[in-house]
Amino acid sequence: MTASVEIPESMRCSVLRAAGELEVQERAVPRPGPREVLVRVASVGTCGSDVHYFTHGRIGGFVVREPLVLGHEPAGRIVAVGAGVDTGRIGQRVSVEPGVPCRRCRYCHTGAYNLCPDVVFFATPPVDGAFAEYVTIADDFAHPVPDHVSDDAAALLEPLSVALWAHHRAGTGVGARVLVAGAGPIGLLVAQVAAVQGAAEVLVSDPDPGRRAMASDFGATATFDPADGGSDGPADVDAFVDCSGAPRAVLAGLDAVRPGGNAVLVGMGADEMTLPVSVLQSREISLTGTFRYAGTWPTAVRLAASGAVDLDRLVTSHVDLDHVGDALAPDPSQVKVVVRP
């Protein structure tokens, strides 16, 4: 390991011991291995998956069986490098892409490394995440960010990548009519990206009037309350992106897709739901899910650096490691809470 600053022997981290039970612990600072870097964490965004693990102790087949550090949206500064990494990277500000694939399987070799069965992904049991003062990561998954991009924005390149991947799967582009269900952080970013890509209409559905107002600020050309129903809701859209996970929202969204259009499921909801197969068949609607992202960081960095996407406005509050539990308690008034270790 090469370092230009003094690295402490221990660090503080927030550890999930069981559902609803967090504890701040002292742990050894990790040391970067070959082709790895050590990052002093500056900001970590909180995600719905963190909330889910905190509340339920599991997401589907991913179960917290041992103490786990949550957090997979980190940014910070490289303070040490392992063998094979240019020492000139020490001091560099970076956004951390939190999932390192095996690089050898068929999915990695075809560019679909998000589907790698052996990916090591932050805060996914049993892999620790980034609610900590330091993390290590493969050097090519520590993406440099310009100095004018804030630490918070650098951290939120991760959810921006989710939005970019959703649009990749939806095939949206110039002139499209796009319907987004759910105006949480991901839904707001999906709306922003749609506007940046030149969508003619960006329609956002959410039951909360405050979230609908925020969606208008983030690029939505129209917003809807899904409780209103009726015949004046969205229809004949080219692409539908569900960011809510709510079965009723999915069904309404599918009904709004034009023949030959696309529908993408992003939100975490029910493990199973009933779908209108006759609608999918008769309209030849392409329905798919998304699983993380692949190759999105260069685009995400450019969008944030240019100001085309505003990530800082998503942040509604900050907490330290001692108050991570406050950040993970469901609070409709919060959009994106950032942990600053």
Domain containing 63: what range?
2-156+311-339
Q: Are residues 333 and 268 in the same domain?
A: no
DSSP β-bridge partners for residue 44 = 74, 339
Six-digit token string for 250: 């999915």
Angle between helices 209-217 and 185-196 (to 10 degrees): 30
C-alpha span between 230 and 132 (Å, rounded): 48
C-alpha span between 58 and 165 (Å, rounded): 24
* Mean pLDDT to the nearest integer, 221-250: 89
Give the tens place of pLDDT for each residue, 115-162: 999 999 999 999 999 999 999 999 999 999 999 999 999 999 999 999
pLDDT at 2 over 70: no
Residue 188: phi and psi, rounded to 5, are -65, -40
C-alpha span between 200 and 180 (Å, rounded): 14
**Percent of the chain residues topping a pLDDT of 70:** 98
Among candidate residues 147, 110, 95, the one with its CA nearest the CA of residue 305: 147
Give the tens place of pLDDT for each residue, 41-73: 999 999 999 999 999 999 888 999 999 999 999
pLDDT at 1 over 90: no
Q: Are residues 206 and 117 in the same domain?
A: no
Q: Are residues 131 and 182 in the same domain?
A: no
Q: Are residues 167 and 256 in the same domain?
A: yes
Q: Are residues 179 and 149 in the same domain?
A: no
Q: Are residues 272 and 181 in the same domain?
A: yes
pLDDT at 341 over 70: yes
**Percent of the chain residues topping a pLDDT of 90:** 91
Look at 177 and 3; give whichever has higher pLDDT. 177
Residue by residue, DSSP assigns 10-25 as EEEEEEEEETTEEEEE
pTM of structure: 0.96
Q: Are residues 136 and 211 in the same domain?
A: no
Q: Are residues 184 and 254 in the same domain?
A: yes
Tell me how many domains the chain contains: 2
* Mean pLDDT to the nearest integer, 275-294: 97
C-alpha span between 22 and 51 (Å, rounded): 12
pLDDT at residue 6 in the model? 84
pLDDT at residue 208 in the model? 95
Among candidate residues 226, 186, 180, the one with its CA nearest the CA of residue 204: 180
Mean pLDDT of the chain: 95
Q: Are residues 229 and 320 in the same domain?
A: no
